[in-house]
Amino acid sequence: MPAYQNTSVDSTKLILGNAKIESAASSGATFVNLGSGIVNSFVHTPELYAAQAGNGPDPVEGVATETATIEFEMIEYDASVLSAISCGLVTQTSTTTLSTLIAGGNQTITPRAFRITNTSMSNSTTVETILTVYKATLTAGPSINFKSDNDTDPVGIMPATILAKLDTSKTAGTQLYTLTRTLVE
């Protein structure tokens, strides 16, 4: 029998299942669902600094900047979504029968807000955990991973990574993200 370090788990504090990911031109604008897929991770990374005296203890330590990274995978091809999350690197055109992404040569990127929403049930109560980053850009992808027609899971995935940076138009201490959660009794 294992010896547990904790004697219980508070199930009302668990994050169960995955989340939907959405994007908007800004955190106050209308968010658009990016479609089916999976959110793999969220990482908040403070970059620390220390002023070094050289002949004594470090007199000043602090945070130089902070970033957040979200890695996710999409499985639904939607050119308008891919165009929106590219932050201006690609554009999309369409007719009644054809949708086209056009890329290459754009040098300006426009950060977007991204939101992750996890919805689950706890004690017969709907619990939402919502993470919003205010100013993010794509740093990788989306790439398209094609699979064999004979694969047991032939759905191609489109992995992507976004990097959120501080939104300096907001008050210090509130510039990177918000994480809210429904409380359950």
The 10s digit of each residue's pLDDT in 104-162 is: 888 888 999 999 998 887 778 888 889 999 999 988 877 888 888 888 988 888 899 99
Phi, psi of 140, deg, nearest 5: -155, 135
Q: Which of 6-10, 97-101, 116-120, 132-136 has the lowest mean pLDDT?
A: 6-10
58 has pLDDT over 70 = no
Alpha-carbon distance of 30 to 47, in angstroms, equals: 31
Using a 10 angstrom Cβ sphere, with 0-12 exposed, 13-18 middle and 19 or more buried, the burial of residue 21 is: buried
Q: What is the structure's pLDDT at 12?
A: 72
Q: Does residue 57 lie in a domain region?
A: no
The 10s digit of each residue's pLDDT in 11-37 is: 777 776 788 888 998 878 899 888 888
3-state secondary structure of 117: strand
Q: In the chain, how many domains are there?
A: 1
Q: What is the structure's pLDDT at 64?
A: 83
Q: Does residue 49 lie in a domain region?
A: no
Per-residue pLDDT, averaged over 65-82, amounts to: 88
Q: How, if at all, do strands 90-94 and 20-24 pair? A: unpaired
Which of the four pLDDT bands, split at 50, 70 and 90, describes residue 1?
low
Q: Structural domain of residue 107, as residue ranges? A: 11-41+70-181
Q: How far is CA 160 from CA 9, 10, 87, in A?
A: 33, 33, 13
Q: Does residue 48 lie in a domain region?
A: no
pTM above 0.85, yes or no: no
**Amino acid at the residue 109:** I
Q: Does residue 54 lie in a domain region?
A: no
Q: Does residue 1 lie in a domain region?
A: no
Alpha-carbon distance of 100 to 79, in angstroms, equals: 7
| Residues in a beta bridge with 39 | 72
% helix / strand / coil in the chain, to the nearest 5?
Answer: 5, 50, 45
The 10s digit of each residue's pLDDT in 165-176 is: 999 999 988 899
Q: How far is CA 169 from CA 20, 50, 75, 172, 174, in A?
A: 27, 26, 34, 9, 10
Q: Does residue 90 lie in a domain region?
A: yes
Q: What is the structure's pLDDT at 59?
A: 67
